[in-house]
């Protein structure tokens, strides 16, 4: 089997963080989401992985390399324009060949990995496709599957006004080579894209077997800032804490905190689950639960909770607690201590600032 990761897209819902960074490389619990996807596929026993790339391809190539850091072989497949998930499958035909494969959206985070899914599909050669579904609270906001009496998928409906079930498509798909027939037969949607739901529906209507895999754990599409924070919180709870940096005698670090290599905790309180990145310095500060501070960051005389701070940023002398926030790379957040005193900041397009 092979793996196919979709890592194109501009990440507009995560602006301004994604103006200068691929959305799949934004870290959750200090590890880029794309890295988690690669590791999930590897842990399921698949070592040949193709990655569909778009405008952010050079950055993804630089971060992922040839895959050797993960113990896999990576093939990059450029997609000239975002023409749909089924189009991504279509252009991956040369890489996939006649092999069965798993397709995984590169900005999704799923509890427990995909090893059970791979094993399930591998033990059923007669299945042409298997689609991961999960129960959701508002199915009208998703693509929804309707199952027939024998457990196969009968119909897929995109954002139905009256959902026939609460089972939504997660963004993880298993296919055999018949999916390439489907991508040749379907037409672009009103969006001008080849939709994967149309390709799967073509399989169903032409007599191929499409079965569900019902995922009962959590699943997050990290496409929005709030989703990133939720995913960060969930993954932090799954980490095995360890302290590799230094913690001075005046600091208090609880048992659910990870301190990475070279980090320094000085006269501060860290409450987990939380992670402090490499060479980061926390001085006279409080870092609360569900916070990820990435590498080479300085937090001084400040408090922060349930937030993500990216690399090379500084947060200093803030008189009120920062919470539920995403702070990008090379950002500076602080209070001018000289007169006339003022708040100083540099904000990108689509930023939001709330002062109390």
Range from 87-101, 190-204, 225-239, 341-355 carrying the lowest mean pLDDT: 341-355
In this predicted model, what pLDDT tens digit does every residue of 286-343 receive, in sequence order? 999 999 999 999 999 999 999 999 999 999 988 889 999 888 888 888 776 666 666 6
pLDDT tens, 171-193?
A: 899 999 999 999 999 998 888 88
Dihedral class, residue 60 (left if φ above 0, else alpha if ψ from -120 to 50, else beta) = alpha
Q: How far apart are CA 190 and CA 73, in angstroms?
A: 36
pLDDT for 102 beyond 90: yes
Distance separating alpha carbons of residues 102 and 2, to the nearest angstrom: 7
Q: Give the mean pLDDT of 120-147.
A: 90
Q: Which residue has the tokens 């349930």?
A: 306
107 against 182, higher pLDDT: 182
Q: What span, in angstroms and rounded, lies between the C-alpha atoms of 24 and 166?
A: 27
Give how far the C-alpha of residue 108 lies from the chain's centroid of Cα atoms, to the nearest Å: 4
Residue 18's pLDDT band (cuts 50, 70, 90): very low
**Per-residue pLDDT, 268:** 98
pLDDT tens per residue, range 47-83: 999 999 988 889 999 999 999 999 999 999 999 888 8
Question: Of 317, 315, 336, 337, which Cα lies nearest the Cα of 326?
Answer: 315
Mean per-residue pLDDT of the chain? 88
Whole-number pLDDT of residue 152: 86
Residue that is written with structure tokens 């990870």 in the block = 258
Burial class (CB in 10 A: 0-12, 13-18, 19+), 248: exposed
Q: Return the pLDDT at 16.
A: 45
User: Which distant-in-sequence residues (6+ apart) come within 8 Å of 88 by Cβ?
Assistant: 4, 6, 8, 52, 77, 79, 103
Q: What is the dihedral of CA 345, 346, 350, 356, to 10 degrees?
A: 0
**What whole-number distance in Å separates Cα of residue 155 and Cα of residue 164?**
10
**Three-state SS annotation for the chain:** CEEEEEECCCCHHHCCHHHCCCHHHCEECCEEHHHHHHHHHHHCCCCEEEEEECCCHHHHHHHHCCCHHHCCEEEEEECCCCCCHHHHHHHCHHHHCCCCEEEEECCEEECCCCHHHHHHHHCCCCCCEEEEEEECCCHHHCEEEEECCCCCEEEEEECCCCCCCCEEEEEEEEECCHHHHHHHHCCCCCCCCCCHHHHHHHHHHCCCCEEEEECCCCEEECCCHHHHHHHHHHHHHHCCCCECCEECCCCEECCCEEECCCCEEECCEECCCEEECCCCEEECCEECCCEEECCCCEEECCEEECCEECCCCEEECCCCCEECCEECCCCEEEEECCCCCEEECCCCCCCCCCCC
Alpha-carbon span 274 to 339, nearest angstrom: 36
Average pLDDT of the residues in 215-236: 86
What average pLDDT does the segment 336-352 reach?
Answer: 58
Q: How far apart are CA 45 and CA 1, in angstroms?
A: 9
Nearest 5°: phi and psi at 131?
-120, 130
Domains annotated for the chain, with CATH where assigned, are 2-235 (3.90.550.10), 241-344 (2.160.10.10)
Look up the pTM and report it. 0.87
């Amino acid at each position: 089997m092979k793996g196919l990761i979709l890592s194109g897209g501009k990440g507009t819902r995560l602006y301004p963080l994604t103006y200068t960074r691929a959305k799949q490389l934004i870290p959750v619990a200090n590890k880029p989401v794309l890295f988690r996807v690669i590791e999930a596929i590897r842990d399921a026993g698949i070592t040949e992985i193709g990655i569909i790339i778009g405008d952010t391809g050079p950055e993804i190539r630089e971060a992922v390399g040839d895959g050797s850091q993960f113990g896999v072989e990576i093939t990059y497949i450029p997609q000239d324009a975002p023409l749909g998930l089924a189009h991504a499958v279509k252009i991956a035909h040369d890489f996939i060949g006649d092999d069965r494969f798993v397709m995984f959206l590169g900005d999704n985070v799923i509890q427990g990995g995909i090893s059970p899914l791979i094993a399930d599909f591998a033990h059923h050669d007669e299945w042409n496709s298997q689609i991961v579904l999960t129960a959701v609270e508002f199915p009208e906001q998703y693509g929804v599957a309707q199952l027939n009496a024998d457990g196969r998928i009968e119909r897929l409906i995109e954002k139905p006004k009256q959902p026939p079930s609460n089972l939504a498509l997660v963004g993880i798909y298993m296919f055999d080579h018949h999916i390439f027939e489907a991508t040749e037969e379907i037409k672009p949607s009103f969006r001008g894209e080849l939709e994967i739901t149309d390709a799967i529906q073509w399989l169903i209507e032409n007599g191929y077997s499409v079965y569900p895999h019902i995922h009962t754990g959590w699943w997050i599409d990290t496409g929005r800032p709030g989703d990133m924070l939720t995913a960060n919180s969930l993954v932090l709870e799954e980490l095995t804490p360890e302290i590799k940096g230094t913690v001075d005698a005046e600091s208090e670090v609880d048992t659910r905190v990870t301190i990475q290599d070279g980090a320094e905790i000085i006269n501060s309180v860290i409450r987990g689950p939380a992670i402090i990145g490499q060479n980061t310095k926390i001085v006279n500060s409080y870092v609360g639960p569900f916070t990820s501070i990435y590498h080479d960051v300085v937090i001084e005389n400040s408090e922060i909770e349930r937030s993500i701070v990216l690399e090379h940023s500084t947060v200093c002398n803030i008189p009120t607690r920062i919470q539920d926030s995403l702070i990008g790379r090379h950002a500076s957040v602080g209070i001018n201590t000289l007169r006339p005193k003022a708040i100083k900041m540099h904000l990108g397009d689509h930023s939001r600032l709330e002062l109390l």
